[in-house]
Amino acid sequence: MIDEDPTETADASTPLPPLALLARAEQTIVGLAPVLTDLVAEFTRRELPLYLVGGSVRDAILGRLGNDLDFTTPARPDTVHEILDAWAETVWDTGIEFGTVSAVKSGQQIEITTFRSDTYDGDSRNPEVVFGDTLEGDLVRRDFRVNAMAVELLLSDGELAARFHDPVGGLDDLARRRLDTPAAPEISFHDDPLRMLRAARFVSQLGFGVADRVKAAMTDMATEINRITVERIQVELDKLMLGDAPWAGMNLLVITGIAEHVFPEIPAMRLTQDEHRQHKDVYAHSMQVLRQAMDQEEDGPDLVLRWAALLHDSGKPATRDFSEDGRVSFHHHEVVGSKLVRKRLRALKYPKHVTNDVSQLVYLHMRFHGFGEGQWTDSAVRRYVNDAGELLPRLHKLVRADCTTRNKKKAARLQRTYDHLEERIDDLAAREDLARVRPDLDGNEIMTILGLRPGPDVGRAWAFLKELRLERGPLDRDDAIAELRAWWEAEQSQETN
C-alpha cells in the first residue's frame, strides 16, 4: 500500500526564491560564452537581437540546461541560415518552413526560429505559420508560462551578457513549481491538444503541479486529444515515462480522463481491488511497483522496465472473479495482460522490439510465484531463463518490484525465495551455457541422422531436442542421437497406426 494519494500529480511546495533562480540562469548562460560569443557578435553586427527562449531558459533557471539550445529572433530564416553557415560546423534546415534553422558548434546543438504569431484552424494541431515582429507576440503563443520566458544575449565590452524578459509571469510560475498557460487554457488546448499531454510530461519531468484552471480545462477537453496522431501521443508518453516522476504525470492523465483516450488499460486498473485487499486498488499497487522498479535502474531510465512495471497487472480487470466467501482472484491475468499490452502498444505504433519486450515481461512476471522456496528443479530454472532470454535482468527487477506488501515477514520470504532462485540460476549457469540453450544436434545433423530433406519434420525434430535439452540439460552426442532416433521411430509408428 502506498501512502500517497494515487491521484497525486506533483509536489508544488515552497516557492523558490526568484532572484536566486535568475542568478543561477545568468551564470549558466554566461558560461556558454566560448561557444556563443561569436554568434551573438554577428547578430549584433547586423543589428539583430538574439534571444535564448522557451525550455532552454526554463532549464537554465532550474540548473538543468543540456546541450540543446533554442533561440528566437526577428531575423528571417534566410538571414539566420547565412549567419549559421559562417559560424557553425554543421547546418541543416529541415524545419525551415516553420522558420527554424538548426546547427551544431563545439558539441552544442542550437535551433534558431524566427518570431512567430501562428494561427490555428481548430481542426488539426498544425498551425498556419505566420512570422511575427515582436518578442512578446512570440512568447504569448507558447504552451505554458514557464516556457514563455526569454533571455536576450548581448555583448558588453566584448563580454557575453544577458537581459531577462518575462511578459506573462513565467518566473513566478516556475518559482511556485506550477504549470499555467499564457492565455486561457481552453484556447491554448483547443489550438493544440497535444499541450495537454505536454502538461503531464512536464509534471513528470519537472515535478511541477498544474494550475486548477489547467486541470479543469484538461478534464473538460479530454476528447480533444483524439485530434492528435498516435505517433505524437507515443512520443509524449515515452517522455513522460522517462521523467523523474512518471507516476505523477500519469496520475494527471488519469484523473482528467485523457488516459481513457490514449491508454484506457491504465485507468481501468483503478476499478480493481487487489486480491490481498491491502492495496487501495491495482492501479495504486502498479504505481508503487513502478517506483520500486525505478529504484533498481542502474544505467539511467529504462523505458521497457518502466512500462512493464506500470502495466504488469493490466489484465486483472478482465480476469477478476469472486469466490463464494467473497475473495477476489485474477487467474491468468498475466496472459490476458500480455495480449492487452501488445494490442495497445501496436495501436500506438511502438517499435516492434519495445512491444515484444514489454508484453513478454508482463507475461512472465507471475512465473516465479508458481514455485515455492527450494522447489526449483534444474529443468524449471532452464525454462525460466530460456523464456526470459535477454529480458532476464529486467524480469529479476520486475518481480522484486512487484512485492509491495506491508507484511514484513511475507516480504522477506518473497525476497529470500527470489534470492534462492537467482543463486540457482548462477549455479546452473556455471555448469551450463544457460544464455544459449540450444539442441545438442543442429538441423544439418538431424537431416543426416534421420535421412530427411529440409521441411517441417526437421523443425519438429529440432523442437523435440530443444525440449529435451531444457528438461535434462546437455547430453553427449551419442545419447542425443539415440534419443532423436527413438523419438523419430515413435513418430513414424504413430503415423502408420
Tell me, what's the pLDDT at 244? 96
Compute the average pLDDT of residues 442-461.
83
Q: How confident is the model at residue 159 (pLDDT cuts 50, 70, 90)?
A: very high
Contact partners, residue 208, CB within 8 Å, separation at least 6: 10, 12, 146, 177, 178, 179, 202
Neighbours of 259 (CB within 10 A): 23
Tell me, what's the pLDDT at 14? 61
Q: How confident is the model at residue 2 (pLDDT cuts 50, 70, 90)?
A: very low
Same domain, 170 and 62: yes
Neighbours of 230 (CB within 10 A): 13
The reply to whether 423 falls in a domain is: yes
Q: How confident is the model at residue 414 (pLDDT cuts 50, 70, 90)?
A: confident
The reply to whether 283 falls in a domain is: no
Same domain, 409 and 422: yes
Region for residue 332 given its phi and psi (left: phi exceeds 0; alpha: psi -120 to 50; beta: otherwise): left
Same domain, 375 and 491: no
Tell me, what's the pLDDT at 471? 76
Same domain, 219 and 320: no
Neighbours of 409 (CB within 10 A): 8
Same domain, 138 and 225: no
The reply to whether 6 falls in a domain is: no
Same domain, 346 and 386: yes
Sign, CA torsion 30/34/39/40: positive
Contact partners, residue 120, CB within 8 Å, separation at least 6: 127, 128, 190, 191, 192
SS3 90: strand
Cβ(272)–Cβ(317) below 8 Å: yes
The answer to which of 2-11, 132-141, 359-368, 471-480 has the lowest mean pLDDT is: 2-11
Cβ(290)–Cβ(397) below 8 Å: no
The reply to whether 402 falls in a domain is: yes
Q: Give dist(CA 213, CA 170) in Å, integer.
A: 16
Compute the average pLDDT of residues 410-428.
82
The reply to whether 286 falls in a domain is: no
Residue 459 domain boundaries: 438-496
* Highest mean pLDDT, choosing among 13-17, 327-331, 436-440: 327-331
Neighbours of 408 (CB within 10 A): 8
Same domain, 205 and 302: no
Grid cell, residue 226, equals 483524439
207 vs 9, 174, 199, 243, 252, CA distance in Å? Answer: 8, 11, 11, 9, 12
Q: To 10 degrees, the CA torsion angle through 234, 239, 240, 242?
A: 120
Compute the average pLDDT of residues 93-117.
91
Domain boundary among 435, 463, 488: 435
The chain-wide mean pLDDT, for the chain, equals: 87
How many structural domains does the chain have?
A: 4
The answer to which of 282-291, 328-337, 340-349 has the lowest mean pLDDT is: 328-337
Domain boundary among 244, 262, 280: 262
Same domain, 28 and 154: yes
Compute the average pLDDT of residues 220-243.
97
The reply to whether 270 falls in a domain is: no
Domain boundary among 435, 454, 484: 435
Contact partners, residue 29, CB within 8 Å, separation at least 6: 52, 60, 151, 153, 160, 162
Compute the average pLDDT of residues 140-152.
95
Q: Tell me the whole-structure pTM to 2 decimals.
A: 0.83
Residue 388 has pLDDT above 80, yes or no: yes
Same domain, 32 and 162: yes
The reply to whether 145 falls in a domain is: yes
Placement of cell 532572484 in the chain: 19
Kindly report the CATH number assigned to the domain that includes residue 115.
3.30.460.10
Same domain, 306 and 235: no
Residue 233: name the closest of 260, 269, 270 by CA: 260
Kindly report the CATH number assigned to the domain that includes residue 255.
1.10.110.30
Residue 279 has pLDDT above 50, yes or no: no
The reply to whether 282 falls in a domain is: no
The answer to which of 145-154, 173-182, 368-377, 444-453 has the lowest mean pLDDT is: 368-377
Placement of cell 549455479 in the chain: 427
Same domain, 22 and 164: yes
Same domain, 455 and 420: no
Q: How confident is the model at residue 85 (pLDDT cuts 50, 70, 90)?
A: very high
Cβ(115)–Cβ(134) below 8 Å: yes
